[in-house]
Structure 1
Amino acid sequence: MLPKAELKKWFHKLLTHTSVFALSLPTHLTVDMESWLNLFLIISAFFWECRGDRVIQPKGVETATEGGQITLTCHYETDDPSPYLFWYKQGANDYPKYMLMRFNFGTGDNATEFKERFHANLDANSKSVPLTIQRLQLSDSAVYYCALRPTVT
């Protein structure tokens, strides 16, 4: 049997390394197969459930000319066959404001103040929902966030 401190170190390694199942059991530590299988199933279920959906937006500042047009990129990763994508705008010293929502089986919805110059189409093939802003105004200067359902609107 391993001393308590060594056993603690071994379990810490087991839980903190990404290659959890690449670790070998110490030869003098006996574990019955049923317990090991149960642990494997629990950890597998945890990782399967926590795979996570995500959106990918380029980092950095986009610049454009007043009166012009700009397109902001948003790619997403999900196993959901019917994803909902959202765009939010956050001005200086303000909270994020809902702009619009798109889904792959319809057009979606735009908040009232974003109906005229703000357009987005969800492209399920490229898994993207680019946001185009037309007739740019100084008040369009902000941080724009793309989000994938579930989210609070």
Structure 2
Amino acid sequence: LLIHLFLCMFSSSSECKGADRVIQPTGDVIAAEEDTVTLDCSFETSGTNYYLFWYKQDGNNSPKFMPSRIQGNDGNTPDEFQGKFSSTLDSTSKSVPLKIQKLQLSDSAVYYCALGQ
């Protein structure tokens, strides 16, 4: 059984600021149940105080907040996402990949990476 994980770009800022943006590969990520996948997200920002967020949106539901990283700190992860989902901010490469373990059909969704200040 294949699982489709859709990637999109999303910015949590209400106004665009210069070069501040997230970059995610477009298209589907296809994997089998029980696989582990890593969704890439890199970012550009001129700011020094920034936050990176991941959101999951399935079906017609509103996006759900997932692991948050604040300049390399652990941030906070809602209980329903702990263990299965993990993310670490790399300030050097300016990336915050999301790792999803033991994929299930319920993991099929649109995953948004967001940058805020």
Q: Structure 1 residue 124 and structure 2 residue 82: aligned?
A: no
Aligned-partner residue type, residue 98 of structure 1: F
Structure 1 ranges of 4+ moved more than 6 A: none
More helix by share: 1
| In 2: Cα distance, 1:76 partner to 1:50 partner | 13
Paired residues of 1:87 and 1:99 also in contact (CA < 8 A): yes
Tell me, yes or no, if structure 1 residue 66 matches structure 2 residue 33.
yes
Is residue 51 of structure 1 aligned with residue 38 of structure 2?
no
CA RMSD of aligned residues (A): 1.5
Unaligned runs of 5+ in 1: 1-48
- CA 1:67–1:50 in 2, change beyond 3 Å: closer, same or farther? closer
CA-CA distance at 1:127 after TM superposition:
0.4
Q: Which SS does the other structure have where 1:106 is aligned? A: coil
Percent of residue pairs identical: 52
Which structure has the greater CA radius of gyration? 1
CA distance in 2, matches of 1:98, 1:148: 13
Aligned to 1:86: 53
Deviation, structure 1 residue 81: 2.0
- Partner residue, 1:11: none
C-alpha distance in structure 1 between counterparts of 2:17 and 2:52, whole Å:
20
Matched, 1:96 2:47: no
Secondary structure, aligned partner of 2:80: helix
Relative to structure 1, is the Cα distance of residues 116 and 105 closer, same or farther in structure 2, using a 3 angstrom cutoff? closer
- Aligned equivalents of 2:49 and 2:18: distance in 1? 17
Letter matched to residue 100 of structure 1: P
**How many Å separate the matches in 2 of 1:85 and 1:104?**
8
Other-structure match for 1:139: 106
Per-residue deviation, 1:140: 0.2
C-alpha distance in structure 1 between counterparts of 2:39 and 2:26, whole Å? 11
Greater RCO between the two (CA within 8 Å, min separation 6)? 2
Where structure 2 has 5 or more consecutive residues not aligned to the other structure, the ranges are 1-15
Counterpart residue type for residue 53 of structure 2: F
Paired amino acid for 2:51: Y
- Count of residue correspondences: 102
